[in-house]
Amino acid sequence: MTDAAAETYRVGIAGTGAIALASAAWLRQAGHGVTLWSPGGRGAEALRTQPLEASGVQPCTLTVEVADDAAQLCHASDVLLLALPVNGHKQVMDALLPSLRDGQTVIVSSMASLSSLYLHEAARCAGKQVTVASFGTTVLTARRESDTQVRVMTRRKAVAVSALPGANVGEAVALCTALFGDGFFSQDSVLASALANVNPQSHGPLAVFNWTRIERAENWPQYHCMTPGVSRAIEALDLERRAVAQAFGIALGPIEEHFARSFGTASARLEDIAAELHAKRGGPPGPVRTDTRYVTEDMPYGLAFVEALGRIAGVPTPATRTIVDAASLVNGIDFRAENDLLGPLGLERETVAGLLARL
């Protein structure tokens, strides 16, 4: 067995947002090579000539490589990390696919709406043997502060990893450990990773019930505004998430457990966890743009996905529906129609047994 922890890798990162830059800084500090690619073409331009500066957890200043396109990124890398909102997953996966090599691993962080299954099935159809590893969350939490600066807020203590094909999960955990350090553990299926992502359940009610703050671009501390009433709504969505998971034979812990594992919170009730996080960190600030990914990503790829699974399994999801309806109403956007993965994945025609057989 090779000592994966002692190896260094060339990591290609698709995306130049908060998680991409935070991961780049973390990986470079751990001695790995990093190449960044901006899918839109402009996000990494400044990093061609200026160093990347990370503040917060592990402050550092270092240089990274920049790829011109998806093919160059794949060519320059042993491992790929997708670090961008799920809205771009299909498009970026389609761009990477022709240049992926047999034996490469693609880590998707964070994964939602079974985007990893889309890539895995597309790669298999193209005759490629790649491993797609998924996190239902991110290793780091971060905010991008400028073209070359990122603030890393936390390094999660524990992160679950699933893999496609499932038999490769042990290798995926070893690889993630070699890249980021300890704290990774295996998750049984990619569907568990998708449903373990609790951002949609927390971000949905947070955004809907703080909408006027977002529209007026107020400075609102996110966890302070996760009030007892908002926490109650989040808990209702969380129960539906877990009931849907259960219908697919997946037992998931409650959202309170996620906060304890990710951020080391000690309180039992969600409203107390929110107060604890606010007291400890004062932040992060809630979103201040109406195109925040708390709605643009979390509604279509998180909550509408739970609804789609609920329809397949016959599990009612009325609280989830209320939040998607409310967000769609105030935005004048049908967020259910924005998910570009449900169609290609054929979920409308799927059954519980049929979907499980594909994982």
Ligand X SMILES: NC(=O)C1=CN([C@@H]2O[C@H](COP(=O)(O)OP(=O)(O)OC[C@H]3O[C@@H](n4cnc5c(N)ncnc54)[C@H](OP(=O)(O)O)[C@@H]3O)[C@@H](O)[C@H]2O)C=CC1
Shortest distance (Å) from residue 314 CB to ligand X: 29
Q: Is 187 left (phi over 0), alpha (psi -120 to 50) or beta?
A: beta
**Cβ atoms of 134 and 161 closer than 8 Å:** yes
> What residues make contact with ligand X under the rule CB under 6 A?
15-20, 38-40, 43, 83-88, 91-92, 110, 137-138, 141-142, 144, 199, 293, 297
CB closest to ligand KPL, residue no = 141
CA 67, chain centre distance (Å): 23
Question: Do residues 170 and 300 make contact, with C-beta atoms less than 8 angstroms apart?
Answer: no
Dihedral angle computed from the Cα positions of residues 67, 78, 138 and 305, in that order, rounded to the nearest 10 degrees: 90
Count of residues near ligand KPL by CB under 6 A: 5
Between 193 and 202, CB nearer to ligand KPL: 202
Provide, rounded to whole angstroms, the least separation between the CB of residue 141 and ligand KPL: 4
* Dist CA 43 CA 10 (whole Å): 20
Quick check: 284 binds ligand KPL (CB under 6 A)? yes
**Alpha-carbon torsion 285, 274, 320, 326, what sign?**
negative
Tell whether residue 221 is a contact of ligand KPL (CB under 6 A): no
Smaller CB distance to ligand KPL: residue 33 or 85? 85
Sheet holding 60-62, edge to edge: 60-62, 52-56, 149-155, 140-144
Q: Does residue 87 interact with ligand KPL by CB under 6 A?
A: no
Q: Considering only residues 16, 87, 141, 193, which one is a binding residue for ligand KPL as defined by CB under 6 A?
A: 141
187-206: contacts with ligand KPL (CB under 6 A): 199, 202-203
Interface residue list for ligand KPL (CB under 6 A): 141, 199, 202-203, 284
